[in-house]
Structure 1
Amino acid sequence: MLGVPASLPEGWNVGAPDPTDRFDVARLTHLLRAHERHGRGWAGSGVDDVLVEVSEHGLRTRENVVVRDPSGEIQAWGSVHDRSVGRMLFVHVVRRDLPAGVADACSDVLIAWAEAQAREVGAARGLETQQIDTGAFAGDERQARWLAGAGFERVRTWWQMSRSVDPEEATLVESPERWEADGVVIRLVRRTGAGLPDEGDLREAHDVLESAFADHFNSSEETFEEFLHRLREDPGHRWDHWWLAELVDEGAEPQPVAALIGTVSESTGGQDGSYVAYLGVLEAARGRGVAKRLLRTVIADAAARGRDRVGLEVDADSPTGAAGLYTSMGWVTRYVTQSWHRDVPVG
């Protein structure tokens, strides 16, 4: 799409990373971890997170570009992900200690490439406009300058929250696998005889989350197949971290009204943690303490597994009051991120 932009220094070139080359994968991991350390003080990503973006499996819904110096070393990396209808996620990472002019040129390459990808993705989906959705750590002035200069708009702030877990909290609920109180059952998704999750339960979770988030910021319809494929790509995905909440009022069939999908946050030098990837409650069931029950369940589950924390993300501008619930239950903000959007005309 781009060739070699004139703004790059002589001998630099643009191409695709090789997911079978361990040096390319190691370099991408190093760049991503350095980006995280600068933005929030520590690195959490590893090789598995990079492979989600660049592996053959990941390339079903993604494309990647890298900028190399004359020695062949990767100095900048861009990745786009056709996340759902009208929403394309964009990863934008440039080596932190490059000279300013070279770093600016690398950023220009990544953004121009992402714009071209947006037109391709939007055309394939039959859209007139394709959104590019990217992020930045709060306080990263370089990233904000690049995005604002390229026509992106900062549209949302997110609190990345964490709560410590004590071993005694394994008794917060009767059993994380299933418990009931006041006409509400919290249970794990069922398993078939082969140990696989019950498809009916998975579809219930998808339907609940699609409905619960329909009126939330930047919600975009996602098919069941897209939803399942994307979640299974997460290195922390586990089937025994999917919960459903059902109303079982007397005389009525159980009615799914909420879902929580968790993942494992693995640590290289300490205890693992749990992470709440999704928590959605249907409007008709709000006010019955369903969300709080699901959160108590994931805390108890983490404690029973010997984990030391549960993390989650909350929309700082959400009108639902979710942040107040999390704070009241012990969650605190560890760092802050931002969403930046740009709409690209497809034609």
Structure 2
Amino acid sequence: MSYVLRPATLADAPAVTDLLNAIDLIEIGRPETDLHTVEADLKHPEVDLAQDSWLVFDGDRLVAYGLLWDESGGERVDVDHYVLPDHQEAGRLVFDALEARAVRKAHDNGVTRAVVHLHLNVRPTLDTGLIRARGWSVVRRYHVLRRSLDPAADLAPALPDGVLVRPCATEADRLRVHELYQSTFAEHFDFQPRGYEPWLHDIDAGGLDWSLVWIAGTHDLGDAGFLLARDDREAMGWIRSIGVLPEARGRGLAGLLLRHAFAAFAARGRDQVGLGVDTANATGAPELYARHGMTVHYAVDTWEAVLR
């Protein structure tokens, strides 16, 4: 079989979306990739499409896709890799290219190795034997959770005495959410510190409805937690991030923010809400989500390779 490998352009976003939805259908049973999400990835200012993206075609059919980005400025590099199950050789071509680019990135960053991370469904269309043979291994597991919503039952919760929740309404509020994000996620696996402007690109702020972002606090501690959600996914409402400062944990702020998000999505007519969680999260997040009725939709593994 003869494949054609080339970089992606923004004009390829619809074809990439179709490929990812075909893979979604195989891996999780339904398509859940939106065009604007793919476009945001391709437009990210830290991605040079000419060097950091790869498409593989079998004739006119797109059968594999890869993307690389570098948030660390050091040795940590992230990649995406997608391939249809009957085109594993095309997947190998993408791995050849992205591994070589990751090594060049690390060299340009002044370090001696690239520590590369890739997220794959636990039952991926990729033959994982291909990457195990290249030295990749699983280092973490995440769950994508979901919960059904009922507008009659999922109502905005009453605020306990001494607790405040406000919407993210001003630029000062956005800056505060960024600060809280950096502080509450600092000890999480794979966290990369980000300045305000890069963080805005990371969360695709241009397409974000800021009325679905809340800040929670207490009279004694001030602003102590946040929840950032978005309503631009076709499959379900999505809670992208939720965090509470260590000194404020145990006061119910995270659960309160969750219930605010459930109520907001239910009022908008959404019938499901989802989020992703690290199964080894040490803050008790998996247990919190289970107590609030969230169940596993599918699981994703983080694969790692150390390239010198």
TM-score (norm 1): 0.80
The ranges of structure 1 where at least 4 consecutive aligned residues each deviate by more than 6 angstroms after the TM superposition are none
Preserved CA contact (<8 Å) 2:84 2:126: no
CA distance in 2, matches of 1:95, 1:140: 10
Tell me the residue number matched to 1:194: none
Tell me the residue number matched to 2:266: 303
Change (3 A) 1:304 1:111: same
CA displacement at 1:141 relative to structure 2: 7.2
CA distance in 1, matches of 2:54, 2:126: 20
Tell me the residue number matched to 1:239: 210
Question: What code does the residue aligned with 1:229 have?
Answer: H
CA distance in 1, matches of 2:173, 2:92: 45
Tell me the residue number matched to 1:111: 95
Question: What code does the residue aligned with 1:259 have?
Answer: F
For the pair 1:290 / 2:256, whether they are aligned, the reply is no
CA displacement at 1:58 relative to structure 2: 3.1
CA displacement at 1:301 relative to structure 2: 0.8
Preserved CA contact (<8 Å) 1:162 1:333: yes
Tell me the residue number matched to 1:202: 174
Q: Which runs of 5+ in 2 are unaligned?
A: none
For the pair 1:91 / 2:80, whether they are aligned, the reply is yes
Q: Could you tell which deviates more after superposition, 73-82 or 35-44?
A: 73-82
Question: What code does the residue aligned with 1:119 have?
Answer: V
Report the 3-state secondary structure (helix = DSSP H, G, I; strand = E; otherwise coil) of the residue aligned with 2:101. helix
TM-score (norm 2): 0.90
Q: Deviations over 1:108-137 (max 9, x none)?
A: 211121112212332443333332211111
Identity percentage over the alignment? 26
Question: What code does the residue aligned with 2:68 have?
Answer: V
Spell out the pairing of 1:1-347 with structure 2 (5 A cutoff). 9-10=1-2, 12-20=3-11, 24-54=12-42, 57-58=43-44, 60-62=46-48, 63-69=52-58, 71-85=59-73, 86-98=75-87, 103=88, 105-140=89-124, 142-173=126-157, 180-191=159-170, 198=171, 200-232=172-204, 237-249=208-220, 255-267=222-234, 273-345=236-308
Preserved CA contact (<8 Å) 2:118 2:303: yes
Q: Deviations over 1:47-96 (max 9, x none)?
A: 32332233xx3364252111223x34332211112234443221111122
Preserved CA contact (<8 Å) 1:52 1:234: no
CA displacement at 1:186 relative to structure 2: 1.0
Report the 3-state secondary structure (helix = DSSP H, G, I; strand = E; otherwise coil) of the residue aligned with 1:171. coil
Report the 3-state secondary structure (helix = DSSP H, G, I; strand = E; otherwise coil) of the residue aligned with 1:156. strand
Preserved CA contact (<8 Å) 2:56 2:90: yes
Preserved CA contact (<8 Å) 1:33 1:43: yes
CA displacement at 1:42 relative to structure 2: 1.2
Equivalenced residues, count? 304
CA distance in 2, matches of 1:248, 1:307: 33
CA displacement at 1:326 relative to structure 2: 0.9
CA distance in 2, matches of 1:326, 1:160: 11
Q: CA RMSD in A?
A: 2.2
Question: What code does the residue aligned with 1:19 have?
Answer: L
Change (3 A) 1:128 1:224: farther
CA displacement at 1:231 relative to structure 2: 0.8
Preserved CA contact (<8 Å) 1:169 1:299: no
CA distance in 2, matches of 1:25, 1:190: 32
CA distance in 2, matches of 1:141, 1:48: 23
Rg larger in 1 or in 2?
1
CA displacement at 1:161 relative to structure 2: 0.6
Change (3 A) 1:26 1:310: closer
Report the 3-state secondary structure (helix = DSSP H, G, I; strand = E; otherwise coil) of the residue aligned with 1:211. helix
